[in-house]
Amino acid sequence: MDLINFLKENKENILKKWFKHISETYHNDTSHFLINKKDPFANPVGGAIIKGLSAILDVICGEADKKDISPFIDPVIRIRAIQNFSPSESTAFILFLKDVVRERFYKESSKENFIDRLLEIETRIDEIVFIAFDIYAECREKINDIKANELKDRTYKAFERAGLVDKTDKVLQKP
C-alpha cells in the first residue's frame, strides 16, 4: 500500500491518535478537557490544534503546499509559546506524527520498501518542524517585546507619580 494513500484513507484515525499524544503534554485536567470537549467554541485550544494537525496532514499528503502551512500551525505554536513550553516542547507535537505513522503503517503495510516510503514522509514532517520553529521564535520575540514595553510603561508611570517626569515626557535631573 502506498503511504500517501494510507494517510489519506486513515486521516481521521491518525488525527485522533496524534491529538491524543499532544494532549498528553498538558497537565491531566487540561488533557482531559482537550480530549473530551469537542466543541471548538467551548474548547478553542483543542479546535486550533485539530485544525493545525489537519492542515499538516494535508501538506504531507500533497493536498496543500508547504508554504501555505504557517497560518494553520501559527495558532498552535502561539498557544504553546504563551504557555511557556520550551522551543523543543512547542514544536515537538509535529514530530509525534512520525510515531503515529510508523505504528499504524507498519502494522498494515507490506514490508517491501517500507523504510523508503517512511523516510519520504518523515522528511516532509521535518520540513514542517523547521517552519514551526521559525514561528515559535517570532512568537517569543513578540512576547519579550510586550514584556519590555510593559516594564517601560510601568517605570515611566512610577517616575511620573514621583514627579520625576515633566509634561514634555523628559526625565528630570535631580539637583
Task: Note whether residue 52 is domain-resident.
Answer: yes
In the prediction, which pLDDT does 55 show?
94
Task: Note whether residue 155 is domain-resident.
Answer: no
In the prediction, which pLDDT does 96 show?
94
Task: Note whether residue 17 is domain-resident.
Answer: yes
Task: Note whether residue 159 is domain-resident.
Answer: no
Q: What element of type H or E holds 59?
A: helix 44-60
In the prediction, which pLDDT does 95 show?
94
Task: Note whether residue 169 is domain-resident.
Answer: no
**Stretches in the chain below the pLDDT threshold 70:** 1, 108-113, 167-175
Look up the CATH number of the domain holding residue 59.
1.10.490
Task: Note whether residue 163 is domain-resident.
Answer: no
Task: Note whether residue 149 is domain-resident.
Answer: no
Question: DSSP of 15-39, one letter per residue?
Answer: HHHHHHHHHTTS-HHHHHHHHH---
Total domains in the fold of the chain = 1
Task: Note whether residue 134 is domain-resident.
Answer: yes
Strand partners, 165: 171
Residue with cell 514532517: 125
In the prediction, which pLDDT does 166 show?
72
In the prediction, which pLDDT does 97 show?
94
